Amino acid sequence: MNRLVRVLLLVALPAVWTVTLEAQSVGRAAAESLRFDDIRFDPPEAEMHEVGGVPVLFIEDHSVPLVSVFASFKGGYARFPRSHYAAATALPSLLRYGGTLTLPPDSVDEILEHYAIQTSFGTGGEAVVASLNTLTEHLPLALRLWAELLREPGFDEDQVAVWRGRAVEQIRRRPDNPQTLAFSEFNRLLYGDHPIGWEMDLGDLGPESLTGDRLREIHGRIVCPGQMVIGASGDVSWPELEAQLEVILSDWPRCGDELPRSPLPDIRREAGVFLIPRDLEQSVIVMAHPTAVRLSENAEYYAAQIGNSILGSGGFSSRLLARVRTEEGYAYSASSLWTMPRRYDGLLGAITRTRPENTVPAIRAILETMEDMAAAPPTSDEVRTGVDRIVNGFVFNFETPAQIVSRRMFYLAQDLPSDWLERYLGGVQGVTPASIHRVFEENLRPEAMTILVVGDPERIGREGLESLGPITVLDLEIGR
For the chain, the domains span 47-249, 272-473
Question: Measuring CA to CA, how many Å separate 473 from each of 179, 267, 286, 351, 464?
Answer: 17, 20, 15, 19, 15
Can you give the pLDDT at residue 25?
53
Share of the chain above pLDDT 90, in %: 81
Average pLDDT over residues 159-164: 97
Q: Is 470 exposed, middle or buried (0-12, 13-18, 19+ CB in 10 A)?
A: exposed
Task: Please check the confidence at residue 292 and state whether its pLDDT lies above 90.
Answer: yes
Is residue 318 within 8 Å of residue 336, measured between CB atoms? yes
Is residue 246 within 8 Å of residue 52, measured between CB atoms? yes
- Would you identify the CATH topology of the domain 47-249? Cytochrome Bc1 Complex; Chain A, domain 1 (3.30.830)
Average pLDDT over residues 383-392: 93
For residue 120, the SS3 value is strand
Can you give the pLDDT at residue 467?
94
Window from 17-21, 65-69, 291-295, 435-439 with minimum mean pLDDT: 17-21
Please report, as a single letter, which amino acid is at residue 431. Answer: V
Average pLDDT over residues 344-367: 97
**Beta carbons within 8 Å of 429's beta carbon, 6+ residues apart:** 387, 391
Same fold, 47-249 and 272-473: yes
Q: How far apart are CA 247 and CA 333, in angstroms?
A: 52
Is residue 372 within 8 Å of residue 318, measured between CB atoms? no
Can you give the pLDDT at residue 412?
86
Task: Please check the confidence at residue 16 and state whether its pLDDT lies above 80.
Answer: no
Average pLDDT over residues 2-27: 44
Rg (CA), the chain: 28
Q: How far apart are CA 466 and CA 471, in angstroms?
A: 6
**Which residue in 177, 171, 444, 174 sits closest to 284, CA to CA?**
177
Reported confidence tier of residue 39, pLDDT bands at 50, 70, 90: low
Q: What are phi and psi of 224, to 5 degrees?
A: -155, 160
Reported pTM:
0.86
Reported confidence tier of residue 203, pLDDT bands at 50, 70, 90: very high
Q: How far is CA 397 from the centre of its chain?
A: 14
Can you give the pLDDT at residue 397?
83
Task: Please check the confidence at residue 21 and state whether its pLDDT lies above 90.
Answer: no
Q: How far apart are CA 116 and CA 133, in angstroms?
A: 9
Can you give the pLDDT at residue 258?
84
Task: Please check the confidence at residue 70 and state whether its pLDDT lies above 50.
Answer: yes
Is residue 146 within 8 Å of residue 111, measured between CB atoms? no
Neighbours of 55 (CB within 10 A): 16
For residue 260, the SS3 value is coil
Average pLDDT over residues 197-207: 94
Task: Please check the confidence at residue 213 and state whether its pLDDT lies above 60.
Answer: yes
Average pLDDT over residues 443-458: 96
Can you give the pLDDT at residue 422?
87
Reported confidence tier of residue 10, pLDDT bands at 50, 70, 90: very low
Alpha helix positions (H), 62-104: 85-97
The CA-based diameter of the chain, rounded to the nearest angstrom, is 99
**Beta carbons within 8 Å of 227's beta carbon, 6+ residues apart:** 73, 74, 75, 255, 259
Can you give the pLDDT at residue 65?
98
Reported confidence tier of residue 18, pLDDT bands at 50, 70, 90: very low
Can you give the pLDDT at residue 398?
85
Average pLDDT over residues 309-333: 95
Q: How far apart are CA 279 and CA 193, in angstroms?
A: 29
Q: Helices 157-173 and 85-97: crossing angle, nearest 10°?
A: 120
Looking at 3.40.228.10, 3.40.980.10, 3.30.830.10, 3.10.450.30, the CATH number of the domain 272-473 comes to 3.30.830.10
Is residue 442 within 8 Å of residue 373, measured between CB atoms? no
Can you give the pLDDT at residue 252?
94
Average pLDDT over residues 52-79: 96
Can you give the pLDDT at residue 33?
79
Q: How far apart are CA 33 and CA 225, in angstroms?
A: 59
Neighbours of 205 (CB within 10 A): 20
Can you give the pLDDT at residue 24?
52
Window from 115-129, 143-157, 405-419 with minimum mean pLDDT: 405-419
Can you give the pLDDT at residue 311?
98
Window from 41-50, 174-183, 242-251, 279-288 with minimum mean pLDDT: 41-50
Reported confidence tier of residue 38, pLDDT bands at 50, 70, 90: low
Can you give the pLDDT at residue 182?
96
pLDDT digits (tens, 9 = 90+) for 243-261: 999 999 999 998 888 899 9
